[in-house]
Chain A
Amino acid sequence: MSTTHDTSALEDRLVAALAARAELVQPEDLAPLATVATLRPRWQSPWVLLATAAAVLLVLGVVLQGVGGRQRSDDVAPRPDDPKIELELPADVGRDWKASPESTPARVDLDGDGAKEKVEFLGEETKDFDGRIRLQTTLSSTGEEAYGVADVASTVGAGAEGVVDADGDGDQELVVFDPDLDTSGGAPLVFDLREGLLVQVVPEDPSLLQRGDVQVPGSQTGLYDRVRVLQYWIEDGRLFSGRSEDSFARTGMTTAQLPGIVLETWEWRLGDDGVLRREAAGCKELVFDVQECDADSGAQVPDLTPATETVGVGESADITTGFPFSIRVEAGDPPVLVGEGQDGVTLRHELDGADPRVATVQPESIFSDGESLVVTSASDPTLVQLLVQRGERIVALDPVGEVPLENTDDNRTWLTEGGSVVSVTAVDDGSWQLWSWQMTSGDRVFALPGVTVCFDDVDDPTTARRC
């Protein structure tokens, strides 16, 4: 996050100040635990806990039965012959390379004798720190040197991500993370001790053993594309990976994914031929970590509570969340919106439509580097307009894309308390497609598709739930 000395010093000060401020709150300052009693009734009762546990087990049983009982199309379809994969033995290069920048040696029992070897990571010297790394160690069982070589996107920070025993032979394979500098993802490189060398084994389908957002082929629309989320992880010495069942719309660095991503997962097992092959490992949910799926798994519905406070002609408000400024609406034909920033700059903008209402919550999800506002009309409920600051003027964003920027019965649009502008469009089965508005080039704005939601009462967005 920081590269300069000044920034680093500021970060150090911030860390120290936050720690000191937090430490002022000591356990004895907290109100007595008894105050939590109001929270307890449903949980304190052992009968409720037993009943809850029984219900959870019952639901889990149903879910697992459902998952296990489903036959996937690729289970019955003929499988192609295994592709011919050949292992490459490492060349003995890089003996004179220096330790990779910021790398940490790994401690791994490569030969299975119960003693851990120290594996060092040497980096090839290149201008951009791309190139190869050399892993080298001395085996505790024989005293002989073992080494491996791999091409990586960055030699900086080369190190072990973990160890696995993917072939079940009792010794450990070393997993090294190879970052993908373009996608902020990457893939694991797995090294197995074979014939005295650290050989990089090969997954049968590398596209399913990686981490990051991967574009769905053919999903580009000009305004956004769609990605699937891939993740891999090590659990109890076993290597797993997963890919999201759903794809998510993405524009720039923004994606429509929400916590609660359901993954189709695989465990990767290493064969004698040095090939990692995948075995289905069922459904998992990626929230903050990877968890078992349950009845509640899946994307959560975001908070769609509408922002209701607005100002009209003759009224004013201070906007303090996000970019701070004050607004007022002056009478006129048309009425004039006046924005005054803390820098003393006053912006004026003639408003469209009769009886304009300007929300006092900024649409920060659209624009946060200056004044931004949502304008509606008390006399025209269909009107929704997004305004942003451009230098010393305010401009109205031009809506483009699949969804019109308007508020009608089957295309409802509103600003949420959290500063997002969302639309929901009616789907034939009674559900609603959620869209979130995003700014794009040329002062344009478009709606990015999100999850499907259902409403108990469509006139009350707070009743939104998963369908």
Chain B
Amino acid sequence: MERAVDITELYAAHRLSLVRLAVLLVDDFASAEDVVQDAFAALARRPDAVKDPSKALAYLRVSVVNTARSALRRRRTARAYSPPHDLSPPTPEDSAVLAEEHREVIAALQQLAPRQREVLVLRYWSNLSEAEIARTLDISQGTVKSTASRALVALEKAMQTSRDSGPASPTSSGKEQR
């Protein structure tokens, strides 16, 4: 029997990669940190949910994906009530600049349906297999395959649309979207 997971060790070992995963899903550093914090908090509330470190990372990944999806849903709901300007101070990450060639891809990625974005991020950044993605998203491998295929088509289309309409999106300004 493996030893019980140590959440502090997990936090130290995987927080950065999970925040990066969350950033790719929500494209907002502050939200990404919250998403990961919520995932660890959920694990802390249910320490018996995971017994060994290898399972814990997979568990946390599922939790991050689900929490990111909820965050996006909440953001849509709250958007109508948001003040016109975000007055919170910028984070160091906000000042980082993404190369133009990458900005176009990331901006297009954010236009995809959440499930499509999740499949692409897990496939092309997390390097998960189709089976692992299926387990993470609780969908069949066939759905992973078809979603990935459609997502790539949609991504290309979104990039083409962006090129046709010019650099008007918030993420094309040179700074990352908060």
Q: What residues make up the interface of A, taking CB atoms closer than 8 Å to B? A: 1-2, 6-7, 10-11, 13-31, 33, 35-36, 38-40, 42-44, 49, 52-53, 56-57, 60, 184, 252-255, 258-259, 287-289, 291-292, 294, 296, 302-303, 320-324, 364, 368, 418
CB pair B44–A18 under 8 Å, yes or no, is: no
Query: A18-B120, A30-B19 provided; 6 other pairs, C-beta below 8 A?
Result: A1-B123, A35-B37, A52-B47, A258-B138, A287-B135, A289-B54
Q: For the complex, what is the distance from the CA of A42 to the CA of B33, rounded to whole Å?
A: 22
B165 proximity list for chain A (CB < 8 A): none
CB pair A33–B11 under 8 Å, yes or no, is: yes
The 7 closest A-B pairs by CB, nearest first: A253-B142, A17-B105, A288-B58, A22-B20, A17-B102, A18-B125, A39-B44
A20 to chain B, nearest CB (A): 4
B164 to chain A, nearest CB (A): 15
A sample of 6 cross-chain residue pairs with beta-carbon separation below 8 angstroms, ordered by A number, consists of A10-B152, A21-B23, A24-B98, A26-B93, A43-B44, A254-B143
Q: A14-B105, A20-B98, A27-B16 are in contact. Are A364 and B115 (CB under 8 A)?
A: yes
Q: For the complex, what is the distance from the CA of A264 to the CA of B37, rounded to whole Å?
A: 37
A10 proximity list for chain B (CB < 8 A): 152, 155-156
A25 proximity list for chain B (CB < 8 A): 16, 19-20, 23, 29, 32, 93
B114 proximity list for chain A (CB < 8 A): 321-322
* B51 part of interface (Cβ distance < 8 Å): yes
Q: A15-B124, A30-B16, A288-B54 are in contact. Are A53 and B3 (CB under 8 A)?
A: yes
A211 to chain B, nearest CB (A): 10
Q: For the complex, what is the distance from the CA of A29 to the CA of B95, rounded to whole Å?
A: 11
B60 to chain A, nearest CB (A): 11
Interface residue count on the B side (C-beta < 8 Å): 71
Fill in one digit per residue for B104-122: 1 if any A CB lies within 8 Å of its CB, else 0: 1110010001110000110
A-B contact count (CB 8 A): 167
B153 to chain A, nearest CB (A): 9
Fill in one digit per residue for B1-40: 1 if any A CB lies within 8 Å of its CB, else 0: 1111011100110011001110110010100110001001
Task: Select which of B27, B92, B98, B149 is within 8 A of A1 by beta carbon.
Answer: B149
B62 proximity list for chain A (CB < 8 A): 259
Fill in one digit per residue for B129-162: 1 if any A CB lies within 8 Å of its CB, else 0: 0001001001011110100110010011000000
CB pair A11–B113 under 8 Å, yes or no, is: no
Q: For the complex, what is the distance from the CA of A156 to the CA of B19, rounded to whole Å?
A: 37
CB pair A43–B8 under 8 Å, yes or no, is: yes
CB pair A255–B140 under 8 Å, yes or no, is: yes
CB pair B120–A14 under 8 Å, yes or no, is: yes
Task: Select which of A22, A24, A322 is within 8 A of B115 by beta carbon.
Answer: A322
A98 to chain B, nearest CB (A): 28
* B82 part of interface (Cβ distance < 8 Å): no
B163 proximity list for chain A (CB < 8 A): none
A259 proximity list for chain B (CB < 8 A): 62, 135, 138
CB pair A291–B52 under 8 Å, yes or no, is: yes
B4 proximity list for chain A (CB < 8 A): 49, 52-53, 56
Task: Select which of B47, B52, B106, B155 is within 8 A of A42 by beta carbon.
Answer: B47
Q: A42-B44, A254-B142 are in contact. Are A13 and B7 (CB under 8 A)?
A: no
